[in-house]
Amino acid sequence: MDGPVLLLVVIAAVAVAGFAKRLDLQVPLVLVAVGSIASFVPGVPQVTLAPELILGVVLPPLLYSAALDFSFVSFRKNLGHILRLGIVMVIVTAVAVGYFANWLVPELTLGAALVLGAVVAPPDAVAAIAVGRKLGLPSRMMAILTGESLVNDAAALTLFTLAVASVTGKRIEIHSPVLFFAYEILGGVIVGLILSRIVRFVRSRIQDSALETVLGLVLPFAAYLAAEEIHASGVLAVVTAGFVLGRVTADVAVTTRIQERQVWPLMDLVLEAFVFAYMGLQLKSVIQEVERDGLPVLHIFAYALLILAVVIAIRPAWIFVNTSRRAAVRKSLRRKSTETSDAMGLTWKQNLVLSWAGMRGVVTLAAASGVPLATVAGDPFPGRAVIQAVAFVVAVGTLVIQGLTLPLLIRRLDVADPLEKQQTDAQQALARSISRSAAETYLSDAAAHGIAGVSKESVEAVLERVRRSVRARLDADETEDHEERIAAAGALFDTLRRNVLGAQRSALVAARDAGELDDEILRAVLSGLDVEEAAAEARIERRNR
């Protein structure tokens, strides 16, 4: 597909997404529906991207952005549940769908059916996370969904590589599937760690916000391509890099942090709109490929609907079987809780919502289009057109069926965590206490020892004004004249205020590193500090000109 057509698709997708949001409709569903209809409009060119382009250009920034904003503490706390859904669930789905498709569809050999299973195995949590955030899902459920979306693509694409190699006869350097899987994980993580540390090192020395932001934009693509070059997991390389730089975001300049808070949401908006529009635009080409192979379209799509039903059923069945098993173990150990929950503290209602958040997405379509045309021996890949059709039906079908009903399910079920608000309030109070203590410590030290190049009398004259400014930000009932105080302050006030903000930021990061403060609370507090610090630095720069 040429550049102008791609640009038109992006513009049209963003426009449709804007109208859908204005009408309070689900953006992914509207984009898929409009794209599907548009694919049959005369004159609309066929929109086809190479799978390497989708996986190497579209996927990395989406994964990286999610990892940047994700709390590593939450990831670690929910690691067991995330791995069960993001890896074990993917393997279970791939195997179950593979054997079912092999039994159902005559055109599929067992190997080709397992390729299909790997293609449809990974859920894409973009739509589910958007719905959950809008309807206020508990933070633990959001953490599990986000964490699952960060790791399941790596598991599914590794299975896909192994399954395709077994059908085509392509040689893989590591023959053992277990060792190959371990190499993919370790290789991806190591590449992500190395590149993120290089970017962090360079950022700390260039001191140019524009260049620092550009380095952050380039990193996910570089991490993915570097890992794929050594046949490791590009997905895990991107996720690891995002975790590392998200964890040390307070180290970069304040202007860089503010720029990145604007850049990544815009990038997500454009890419997500394009992804769902692209999914819909594939309908006509999928039908044409089935017809070219001389297969009955209605029969193939009937098979696809049955496989769709199996895909949807596997997730809740596995989650509740696994939950029941864990509950039985807990009962045998005579551990009691106030209501039925699994080892992660999720109620059956919360598990039901999680089990229904299994929408598939663009990774499924990209993997399907990446199925080779022929084997190493030159024979046609068995059932390739069937795999394409089933992948489309599963991706769009789960998005429509589960995407339409998930909001209703969340509203009907009371999945709120009664302790979450208390925990959030406690964390916010702790953050305010840490900020206040750090500010008082710095100001007391400044009053006692002064500041280099400034007389002690001048410092003492401004200290009380700075203290009032700090209280105005930390205490909601004192905010009305906060801006007037800042506007009336001079150069010394701005210098002291900037130093106080730096001390508060350092104290908050130290509390996060010590495990006292959650990443999400830290980022919310730092966002407010950054705005004030940027304003102070701008005023100082204007005076120095």
pLDDT in tens, 140-195: 888 898 889 889 989 999 999 999 998 998 877 777 888 988 999 999 999 999 99
Residues 267-294: what's their mean pLDDT? 89
**Closest CA relative to residue 103, chosen from 92, 90, 117:** 117
Residue 490's pLDDT is: 59
Residue 212 CA to residue 210 CA, distance in Å, equals: 5
Whole-angstrom distance, CA of residue 76 vs CA of residue 108: 40
Residue 29 has pLDDT above 60, yes or no: yes
Task: Check if the beta carbon of residue 504 is closer than 8 Å to that of residue 439.
Answer: yes
Question: Which three-class secondary structure state does DSSP give residue 341?
Answer: strand
Query: Mean pLDDT over residues 125-143, rounded?
Result: 76
Lowest-confidence pick of 34-48, 118-132, 232-246, 338-352: 338-352
Contact 271, 58 (CB under 8 A): yes
- Structure confidence at residue 467 (pLDDT): 67
Helices (H), 282-345: 283-292, 297-332
Give yes or no for residue 279 having a pLDDT over 60: yes
Q: What is the pLDDT of residue 491?
A: 66
**pLDDT for residue 237 is more than 50:** yes
Higher pLDDT, 104 or 420: 104
Closest by CA to 216, choosing from 201, 199, 204, is 199
Within 13 Å of residue 332, how many CA atoms lie on the same side as its CB?
6
Residue-level pLDDT at 470 = 67
Reply yes or no on whether the pLDDT at 476 is more than 60: no
Query: What is the structure's pLDDT at 49?
Result: 80
Quote the crossing angle between the two packed helices 89-104 and 110-120, to the nearest 10°. Answer: 140
Digit-coded pLDDT (tens) for 492-512: 667 777 778 888 888 888 888
| Lowest mean pLDDT, pick from 204-208, 269-273, 477-481, 518-522 | 477-481
Q: To 5 degrees, how large is the angle CA 15–CA 16–CA 19?
A: 90
Q: What residue type is assigned to position 54 of the chain? A: I
Give the other-Cβ count within 10 Å of 352's Cβ: 18
What is the reported pLDDT for 248?
A: 77
- Given pLDDT bands bounded at 50, 70 and 90, which one contains residue 257? confident
pTM of the shown model = 0.85
Residue 133 pLDDT grade (very low, low, confident, very high; cuts 50, 70, 90): confident
Contacts of 147 (CB under 8 A, 6+ apart): 70, 74, 75, 78, 79, 82, 86
- State residue 388's pLDDT score: 92
Which tokens in the block code for residue 218?
Answer: 């380039």
**Could you tell me which residues are beta bridge partners of residue 451?**
454
Report the pLDDT value the prediction gives residue 355, as an integer from 0 to 100.
Answer: 92
